[in-house]
Chains A and B, each alone.
Chain A
Amino acid sequence: MRWTKELIPIAGAIVLALGIGAIVTALTGYSVPAVFKQLVIGAFGDWYQLAQTLTQATPILFTSLSFLIAFRAGLFNIGAEGQLYLGAFFSAWAGFSLRLPPVLHTVVCLLFGAVAGAIWGFIPGWLRAKRGANEFVTTMMLSYVAIYLTSWLVAPGGPYHGTQWANQTVRIATSAQFPRFIRGAQLSWGIVVGVLIAFIVWYLLFRTPRGYELRAVGQNPLAAEYGGINVARNLILALVLAGALAGLGGAAETLGTHRRFIENFSPGYGWDGIAGGLIARAHPLGAILAAVLMGALRAGGQAVDRAGVAPADLASVIQGLVIFFVVAPELIRYLRRLRRGKLGDTEP
């Protein structure tokens, strides 16, 4: 099977990274067994901890899909963080402003999130396709605009400053909320929607003419043009979809995890999506596993910090090592392909 061929080196890279993480832990004077025990317990120790892992995995799944769909079209969406914030805010707005029956209310909130993110993807997409502006720069810059814009909306004096004690909106209506699985844990239906969307993205990319065109543009824009494919339109579409996916991730956070919009709620899920998308080898179903890995690292890292066996910084180092080791080969392969693609492939 092809995917086992992909999985084995990834597993190897994780083991290697954890090994180096252990050395770093020992050198900095902390207890290796204690730290690793907390990492595992924090991620998979019991149902509650597993729920923690999956809760963190949910937004990362969406942002990974966001990154990889743009990547498939040859684009870098670095702005998932901002798209996530906009999606979270506007779904919250729909959640506390509209009065709708249950299920329908949730769907409308998701749509609000997706459209908000999509608009934030359309702008850099249009700039790239029509004006040649590098999407790497524009998506990142617009990301900050979105983050600060939503911060202002819920800041004291802002129009949606909902509670006295924190910069956040009021709670969304019960009819809009995602049901949760375990009492006391934030894990919600968001993860189920995420997995469903991953399958939809897979179908879109590999089973539809649209996905065919998107990938053709990413692999060889000149051949795509020759094949009658409108390159500019597909570049825009790719970033619109990328924005929508990140926006949905934000909506899932609002509807399931926080049930309101909170300033600075994301600890960098948008950035995690870049690593997640690369770990997944830009495959939508691989993104499910990648997101769980990233979620586990986050949940485990929090446990290490909470248990006081080592500072949170050390957990971050271990997380960073794992991501680096898993992503590096793919990144190198990508850069090499980029170089070879330009010079003509000479393999026999």
Chain B
Amino acid sequence: MEGIVKRFPGVLANAGIDFSLSWGEVHGLLGENGAGKTVLMSILYGLYQPDQGRIFVRGKETRIRSPHVAIQLGIGMVHQHFMLVPRLTVLENMAVGWEPRLGPLLDRRAMREKIEALVEEYGLEVDPDAKVEELSVGEQQRVEILKALYRGAEVLILDEPTAVLVEQEVEALFSTIRTLKEQGKAVVFITHKLHEALEICDRITVLRKGKNVGTLSASEATEEGLAEMMVGREVVFTVSPEPVKSEGRVLLSVEDLSARDDRGVPVVRGVSLQVYDHEILGIAGVQGNGQKELVEAIAGLRRPTSGRVKVGEHDVTGRSPHTLASRGLVHIPEDRHLRGLILTFSVEENAVLGRHREPRFALGPWAQRRSAIRAHAQELVRRFSVSVPGLSAPARTLSGGNQQRLILARELSRAPQVVLAVQPTRGLDVGGMEFVWEQFLKARKEGAGILLVSMDLDEVMMLADRIAVMYQGEIVAVLRRGEATKRELGLLMLRGKGAVD
């Protein structure tokens, strides 16, 4: 790719980028959110047309008018937000648009054979007959990779693939990538996790503000050097929680809670836990071990089959999110787009989601206090440094990091007693992560209890005062900070109690 320029209204996403990819290479694409990584690769995948610049595939100048053309050229892309039809099975999803036919019928057998061969070859374990809506995010990612390979991808673009994975899943993904590389295929690995880029990539290109700041071989790169290239200044990688003293008040108490998933399978099985004041309780676990359902059951979004949830002294089992919020429990949901925001609503409308009926913002059900809503949104945007085109702009126009800031601003500004947070830094850049972490530590210092569910073990180990490991719907261990190594936690997450010996 040579001199790629792409403008969006008000944004120069790519300002003349050169980028090259060789066969048998894993090429890391690093940069903060909004640096233009995804846009550049979307151009290669035919989703956008560049305003200027040329693309050469196998030495020949090519116009990639659509993803269809890209696929025919052997280019596949796995997006950060998966492009799967939730209602269809894995098999059907892979077939969409590329159905092998048996006369007018779908040749399911041929498809199944081909897919099973791919699963075998690349170690991408997934049940071809499961419906996609029932799969964990990690499994959905495997489906996306399989889909690309099934369509004959020789060049595979992975957009922040590890953002949703745990340590062991990352290992599996990396071994898949290595297999691809050995076969002479090329992989573009978009990320902002530096150590991962260094581990798996042969070459690394860093983008900043739509420009290529440099391409270097992984062997000559260092984390510090790359980070400076990315943000243009030195950065802090970690935050260190200062010790605060808990008064030993139980803010959130979950007693013997059980819940079923959407298929009706009991996936939360008798979970008991307490969150104290001035505390972050981390929940570590491999995706799909009931964390999602546990949080939904606590947050009033899923009816528990048995057990109790108490916020302070109040029993709130099965109560609505509205009631929970009035008791001081707020929720930073896992999926910003699906739960946390209404993307078509404006920033100000989103700023009061969940509070829109409070007397502060409404005179009964028949009149809004528009100026109060606007002032509140203005205040949130200022205090939490949310960068927005305007308060009336749809939330869709914000970058991922700013969307998350807006949600945090909305929820944490309610001065909550208890914060439920699921994957709060998923898909954020270094600056965004730092911000989220600092906000949590601030809330902790002010006395809140935080239940933090994360697939990122580093994050949990860094922030949590105690770590509960969830395995197959149960809490198998609760450890204090510094009591366990990453390896031990990983084993507990993978094998449950049996791992302790």
Contact = CB atoms under 8 A, between A and B. Distances in A.
Given A223-B342, A343-B82, A207 B370 contact: yes
B338 A210 contact: no
A219 B344 contact: yes
Interface in A211-231: 212-213, 215-216, 219-220, 222-230
B38 A227 contact: no
Interface in B389-405: 396, 399
Nearest to B343: A345
Interface string A197-215: 0000000000111101101
B146 to A, nearest CB: 17
Interface stretch (B104-112, B224-232, B351-359): B351-359
A226 B407 CA distance: 12
A29 interface: no
A342 interface: yes
A219 B346 CA distance: 12
Contacts of B8: 348
B81 interface: yes
Contact of A219 (B85, B345, B365, B367): B345
A347 interface: yes
A344 interface: yes
Interface residues of A, number: 26
Contact of A209 (B38, B84, B365, B396): B365
Given A343-B81, A348-B8, A348-B38, A225 B301 contact: yes
A4 interface: no
A344 B79 CA distance: 10
B367 A207 contact: yes
Contacts of A225: 301, 321
A249 B299 CA distance: 43
A346 B81 contact: yes
Contact of B331 (A226, A230, A343, A347): A226
B353 A208 contact: no
A324 to B, nearest CB: 26
B338 A227 contact: no
B356 A226 contact: no
Contacts of A230: 320
Interface residues of B, number: 46
Nearest to A204: B366
Interface in B317-363: 320-323, 325, 331, 333, 337-345, 349, 353-354, 356-357, 361-362
A157 to B, nearest CB: 46
A208 B11 CA distance: 34
Given A226-B301, A226-B321, A343 B345 contact: no
Interface in B76-123: 79-86
A223 B353 CA distance: 9
B149 interface: no
A3 to B, nearest CB: 15
Given A343-B83, A343-B84, A348 B342 contact: no
A210 B342 contact: no
Contacts of A223: 338-342, 353
B81 A345 contact: yes
A291 B9 CA distance: 34
13 contacts: A208-B362, A209-B357, A210-B366, A216-B342, A219-B342, A222-B338, A223-B340, A224-B342, A227-B354, A342-B85, A343-B81, A344-B337, A345-B343
Interface of A: 207-210, 212-213, 215-216, 219-220, 222-230, 342-348
Instruction: Pick the 10 closest A-B CB pairs, nearest first.
Output: A228-B322, A344-B81, A227-B354, A227-B353, A228-B321, A209-B362, A226-B339, A220-B342, A210-B365, A223-B342
Given A210-B365, A220-B341, A345-B337, 15 more contacts: A207-B367, A208-B366, A208-B367, A208-B368, A209-B366, A216-B353, A222-B338, A223-B340, A225-B321, A226-B354, A227-B354, A343-B83, A344-B81, A344-B82, A345-B343
